């Protein structure tokens, strides 16, 4: 294989590690690829038929993404607005 034409991508970043329920001592990695897609090493993710890697999901990717969203920094809240009064138009006169 000619490696000079093989594209080089940035290494994948592991965002979560889950212990395997069916194989004690093994684990599944959830990664974010250089393309921004989320990947998992579990068989449920790898062997999905008819779904491109972009649309694939498994319980590990769903939990990892939910955890990332829950722990992401929130924007600072703006100053509270003045309380609205329940005065009618005629109360002003």
| DSSP states along the chain | --GGGS---PPPEEEEEEE-SSSTT-EEEEEE-TTS-EEE-SHHHHT-SS--TTT---HHHHHHHHHHHHTSPPPPPPPPPPPPP---GGGG-
pLDDT tens-digit profile, the chain (93 residues): 444 443 444 556 888 999 998 889 999 999 988 888 888 999 999 998 877 777 889 999 999 989 888 887 877 776 666 555 666 666 666
**Domain edges within the chain:** 8-69
Q: Which pLDDT does position 8 carry in this prediction?
A: 46
Q: Which residues pair with 29 in a beta bridge?
A: 17
């Amino acid at each position: 294989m000619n490696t000079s034409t093989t594209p080089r991508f940035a290494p994948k970043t592991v965002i979560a590690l889950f212990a395997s329920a069916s194989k004690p001592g093994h684990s599944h990695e959830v990664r974010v690829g250089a393309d921004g897609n989320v990947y998992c090493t579990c068989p449920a993710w790898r062997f999905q038929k008819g779904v491109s890697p972009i649309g694939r999901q498994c319980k590990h990717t769903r939990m990892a993404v939910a955890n990332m969203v829950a722990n992401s920094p929130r924007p600072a809240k703006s100053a509270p607005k003045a309380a609205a009064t329940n005065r009618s138009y005629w109360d002003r006169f």
